[in-house]
Structure 1
């Protein structure tokens, strides 16, 4: 029996990474299936090495298409090393970002084309899209204000990009959500953190009622 693949998306400062640390144990308490949490870019040995190159603040001269290709390469390796083995064992795969991030950030944010970036990633993932994607919705001004407050001295190369870049990313995400209403469900990430977690868990449990049954 194959497992379940759930991805989590959102602009910088949406709080999904922090929320995931709380979402995972709440979901695990509702199922006997093992849950595996990973991230992109990264998630496996080779992919983590690519992540360091992508996010290095000293690589400001990196070409936008090079960046898109590196993300796709990291994603491919993550898929092979972590995601597919997890699913083949019937486990639940939670990934902090997946293909939608590249379409929004490189396709929209870097303005190299959402279709072009989608094509690159279709080659990388061979049709292995998530069964469900939770989109954490927060506007760029709110998200970046959170980042500057919480870890201003540790911002990566993309977080340091101009506001216009983040606005394009946000607009692209909204288009992706509109075009994938069955797969992608939205959570208002401007709410209190505990409410964000609660809403995300409810969406997941409602989508897979036969999997998350314990404690009901």
Structure 2
């Protein structure tokens, strides 16, 4: 495979996504795969200004303000698509922590179809594999509150909000035929789910 394989992992807070990313990376590198780990938040040069708008949106929900947030995030992903992703080595597997699927969980007013269109119009790179990491909301909530940093979410503060976030994200996974990974058992089981799908995509890519 000469081109990069671009894979996004998204999901509600507390679903164990970061731990899963680390485990997937370890398994793939043990098989001599070249793996690059990226984080949307850390790659976004405009994140501070966008988060200031998100904080305003949390205090005063408003459709126009949410649209502005989504447009800024899409612009940032377009920038990452143009300036960060092309710099990664050919033949590598690029795993990114969050991409536009996460908007399905965290935005409350705009339909996800409209958000997706914003990203398409800006030529945001489409992952070769979308992985949605989920648990029952009560599970992710319990995991999060047990962490030293807590849920660490700007937009989710109550269990009922976590329930709504999870439900919206699972619906988007079903609507767009993304890979659903239920991370409620062992991390080894979840890792195997995702790694097996990655190898299927690699096999298809080698056929072309």
What SS does the aligned partner of 1:158 have?
A: coil
The offset of 1:147, in angstroms, is: 0.8
The offset of 1:60, in angstroms, is: 4.1
What SS does the aligned partner of 1:95 have?
A: strand
* Change in 2 beyond 3 A, CA 1:153/1:143: closer
* Change in 2 beyond 3 A, CA 1:120/1:165: farther
2:82 counterpart (80, 83, 93) = 80
Distance 1:55 1:93 in 2: 27
Structure 2 equivalent of residue 27 of structure 1: 28
Q: Number of matched residues? A: 201
Distance 1:117 1:11 in 2: 17
Structure 2 equivalent of residue 151 of structure 1: 148
What SS does the aligned partner of 1:178 have?
A: helix
Distance 1:132 1:54 in 2: 30
1:112 counterpart (107, 110, 129) = 110
What SS does the aligned partner of 1:37 have?
A: strand
Could you tell me whether the CA contact under 8 Å between 1:69 and 1:120 is conserved in 2?
Answer: yes
Structure 1, unaligned stretches of length 5 or more? none
The offset of 1:166, in angstroms, is: 2.7
* Change in 2 beyond 3 A, CA 1:64/1:210: closer
The offset of 1:129, in angstroms, is: 1.0
Distance 1:192 1:131 in 2: 26
Distance 2:54 2:151 in 1: 11
* Change in 2 beyond 3 A, CA 1:153/1:103: closer
Could you tell me whether the CA contact under 8 Å between 2:50 and 2:69 is conserved in 1?
Answer: no
The offset of 1:84, in angstroms, is: 3.2
CA shift digits 1:76-130 (9 cap, x unpaired):
222222223327x332211111111113321xxx122222212222223x16211
* Change in 2 beyond 3 A, CA 1:180/1:72: same
Return the TM-score normalized by structure 1: 0.78
Structure 2, unaligned stretches of length 5 or more? none
